[in-house]
Structure 1
């Protein structure tokens, strides 16, 4: 992780912990989860919002005003809206993507959920995704959400990343392993 990225993650982690604790005390984790999803979608869709959070041409007051208006328009919960205002006043909005990621992870942890990143050679059917999620749930004891992506270069099979564990059953990986074994022989 690069130094600026680790600094952003550290800043976001502190804000996320405070926002999460306030929302949990108020019994508003479901609202916070919905807000995190909506704000993440808005950030992904709006180049103006992305520009606002990283551009130094906006003043503290300008950022704070824009974030307050956005929070009111989106009807964000009080802990998140207040946290965003504070981040704007302290010129920390550049860490917003990391904040949303940290909040999503904290909410999932509180709900006993984990997220598995699955990359497959072809799109998984609903039945296949459900069976994979159930198998992972049986192994971990937690509810598993799947982030599914398709990478045709895998040729066949899939790669599953769950926390620090990775299971690579792709044909591409098996061919690479076979190629390495052949180099050692010959």
Structure 2
């Protein structure tokens, strides 16, 4: 847990700097999409994450990989930001930096992140219904959904918005029923 706190402390100023650059160049959404893409890559490929985190791999190799991943048509501000992270030996915190950036971007856009766990993949109509419900309870302008599937829920959904949790799953209902029966 302390390493997560340390990562968050290191990531915060870099995320704020990235947001500042993005705002000055009117690229906040573009950087947000790039951050989401990079986070997806880091989460999908542990070797990539380990490559950037390994202090024994030379900075030039890390820079070459960043340039290869981003390609020629990438935004030069974002590319230079990532290369600076390599130079400052902060590239290991890239995941935390991008997570912080996305949190700052959501705050700027008055958007809330709703984590939705369901027993089966949600249809578009179900996602829209959840978005409307979250807007109603959070007074946000927009909602960003992060969906996960957990077949152990049996049915229903669990929605997490900030510190608020709405458990509308069959598993949750069974657990609450069990508690009521044991307390009776």
| SS state at 1:148 partner | strand
Between the aligned partners of 1:43 and 1:22, the Cα distance in structure 2 is: 23
C-alpha distance in structure 2 between counterparts of 1:99 and 1:116, whole Å: 20
Cα distance in 2 for partners of 1:45, 1:175 equals 34
Unmatched segments (≥5 aa) in structure 2 = none
1:77-109 CA-to-partner distances (Å, cap 9, x unmatched) read 344223222221121111111111111122222
Q: Residues 121 and 76 from structure 1, CA distance in 2 versus in 1: closer, same or farther, beyond 3 angstroms? A: same
Give CA deviations for 1:47-90 in whole Å, capped at 9, x if unaligned. Answer: 553232111221344434543x2476264434422322222112
RMSD over aligned Cα, in angstroms? 2.2
* Equivalence for 2:57: 58
**CA distance in 2: counterparts of 1:57 and 1:51, whole angstroms:** 11
Q: Paired residue for 1:92, among 90, 93, 97?
A: 90
> How is 1:135-146 mapped onto 2 (pairs within 5 angstroms)?
135-141=133-139, 142-146=141-145
Sort the Cα spacing of 1:6 and 1:51 in 2 relative to 1 into closer, same or farther, 3 A: same
Do residues 127 (structure 1) and 125 (structure 2) align?
yes
Taking the TM superposition and a 5 Å limit, the aligned residue runs for 1:10-159 are 10-67=9-66, 69-70=67-68, 73=71, 75-141=73-139, 142-159=141-158
Q: 1:117·1:148 contact (CA, 8 Å) conserved in 2? A: yes
Residue matched to 2:177: 178
Q: Which moved more, 1:158-167 or 1:77-86?
A: 77-86
Q: Secondary structure at the match of 1:169?
A: strand
Q: Secondary structure at the match of 1:91?
A: coil
Query: For this pair of structures, how many residues does the alignment match?
Result: 183
Q: TM-score, normalised by structure 1?
A: 0.85
Contact kept? 1:61, 1:89, Cα under 8 Å: no
Which whole-Å CA distance do the structure 2 matches of 1:31 and 1:50 have between them?
Answer: 22
5+ unaligned residues in a row in structure 1: which ranges?
none
1:89-143 Cα distance to aligned partner (Å, 9 max, x none): 1211111111111111222222222120111222222111111212222332321
CA distance in 1, matches of 2:169, 2:43: 30
